[in-house]
Amino acid sequence: MDPAMSEDLEAVRDLVNRFMQTEVVPVMDGYEKHGEFPRELIRRAGEAGLYGAVFPESVGGTNLGYLAATVIQEEMARNDVRFAACNNQQGSTCPSCTYFGGTSEQIKKYVPNLLAGKTIGMMSLTESGGGSDAAGAMKTFARRDGDVYRINGQKMFASIANETDVGVLFAKTDRDAGARGITGFIVEPKKYPGWNAQPIDMLGLSNAFRTNVLFLDDFVVPVENRLGTEGEGFKIVMRALEAGRVTVAGKALGIARACFEDAVRYAKERTLRGQPIGRFQMIQSDIAEMATAIEASRALVYKAAYSMDHSLPSNRLGAIAKFHASQTAKLCADKAMQIFGGYGLAKEYRVSWLKSYADLFFTGEGSANVQKILIAEDALGYKVADRHHGKTGLRDIRKNDVAD
C-alpha cells in the first residue's frame, strides 16, 4: 500500500470523526425515536464531502479514491452505523450506476446533487423471489410506450425508496433474454406516478432509514432516463456492486471496531469479585480473538480498496475482503454481547443493535455464500473472478472524467 497515502487518510479519518461526533451522534437517537428521516444530516454530510470520494471534482466529488471512501465508511459506521447504512445508496450504487452507464448529460444532471446530499438517492435490484439470483428471478418489466417506459412489478428491500428523489432501478425489457434482458433506468418517484414504497419493519435496524417493498404500477420513466442501451443493465449494476462490496466491507470493519471498543471499555469498568472482568481469562480470550480478526480484516479491506484505486483486478480480492470483514463484524458483535451479558440486550447499549447491522452486512451487497462461491470457483479454476476486468466497456470513475 502506498505509504504516501497514510497522512492524507488520517486527515480524512479525523474529518469524518469530527463530523460524526459533532453533527450525527448527538442527534441520531432523536431521529430514531421519532422515525424521522434525517434529510438535513445527509445534506451536511454531502457538504463535508463524505459521499464523493471516488468521483472526479467535475461532478462534485473529491477525487480521493476508494481507499479514502472505505475509510470514510469505516469511521462513519464505527461512530453510528445507523447513519452510515445509507451511504452505499447515496454515495456509491446510485451515483456509480449513473456514472458507469449514463450519458455525460445524465451524469452532470444527477450525480452532483447526489454527492452534495441535495437529492436523496437509492438503487433497486432485488425482488421477493430472487435475492442472490437477481437476474434469474426478476419479474419487473419495463414496456416501451412511445417516449416513455411504463414499469410494472414489485421490488424488495428497496432502501430509502420511501424518501428518494432520484434513484436507479433495474427491470426486464426482454423477458426471454435472461441477464441480457435487464435494463437500468434513472427514476424520479416524486415527479412521475406509479411508485408506492411501503416500509418494512426490520429487527434491530434503523427506524429513520427504512427499507421498503416497492410496488410499481405503470410507473413512468422517460426514454432519456434509460441507462445505456436496452440489455446493458445487469452489466452496469454488477460493476457498481463490485465497487460497493469493498465499501460495505469498510462498514463491517467499522462495526467490528465499535463492538471491540465498547467491549474493552465495559470489561475495564464492570467488576466482579473485586476486580474488572477484563482480568478473567475467558474475557481476555474473546478480546484477543476480536483484535486479531479486526487487524486481518483491515489489511484485506484496505488492500482491495488500494487495488481498485490502481485499476488492478479486484473482484476476487473484494469478495475475500467483504466475506472476511462481515465475518469479523458478526464475531465481534457476538463476543461483545457475551461480555456485556444481559446488558447486551438492553437498548441503551448499542451492542444490542450492532448485531443486527453485522448480520445485514453479512448479506447485503452480495451474501457471504455468494462470495464464497466466487472465491472457490476462482481457486478451483472453474471461473476466473476477474475475467471481466477492463473489458466491460463501461466508463471508469477513476480514469474517465466526463469533463475531458
Asked if pLDDT for residue 175 goes beyond 70, the answer is: yes
Tens of pLDDT, residue by residue over 228-285, are: 999 999 999 999 999 889 999 999 999 999 999 999 999 999 999 999 999 999 999 9
Tens of pLDDT, residue by residue over 221-240, are: 999 999 999 999 999 999 99
pLDDT band at 86 (very low <50, low <70, confident <90, very high): confident
Tens of pLDDT, residue by residue over 16-56, are: 999 999 999 999 999 999 999 999 999 999 999 999 999 99
CATH number for 121-230 (one of 3.40.50.1820, 3.40.50.2300, 3.90.1150.10, 2.40.110.10): it is 2.40.110.10
**Residue 181 neighbours by CB under 8 Å, 6+ apart:** 172, 173, 174, 175, 231
C-beta neighbour count of 322 within 10 angstroms: 32
Interval 328-347 mean pLDDT: 96
What SS3 state is found at 169? strand
Closest CA to 132 of 274, 238, 235: 238
Q: What is the pLDDT of residue 314?
A: 93
Write the class of the CATH domain 5-115: mainly alpha
| Yes or no: domain 235-380 corresponds to CATH 3.20.10.10 | no
Q: Is 365 a catalytic residue?
A: yes
pTM confidence score:
0.94
Q: What is the pLDDT of residue 4?
A: 39
Q: What is the pLDDT of residue 3?
A: 43
Tens of pLDDT, residue by residue over 49-84, are: 999 999 999 999 999 999 999 999 999 999 999 999
Closest CA to 241 of 381, 73, 85, 367: 367
- Please tell me which residue in 105, 230, 365, 377 is annotated as part of the active site: 365
Tens of pLDDT, residue by residue over 348-381, are: 899 999 999 999 999 888 889 999 999 999 999 9
Per-domain residue ranges of the chain: 5-115, 121-230, 235-380
Tens of pLDDT, residue by residue over 92-138, are: 999 999 999 999 999 999 999 999 999 999 999 999 877 667 777 89
Q: Please spell the DSSP secondary structure of 56-115, one letter per residue.
A: -GGGT-----HHHHHHHHHHHHHHHHHHHTTHHIIIIIHHHHHHHHS-HHHHHHHHHHHH
Q: CB–CB of 249/77 below 8 Å? A: no
Cell 446493458 belongs to 232
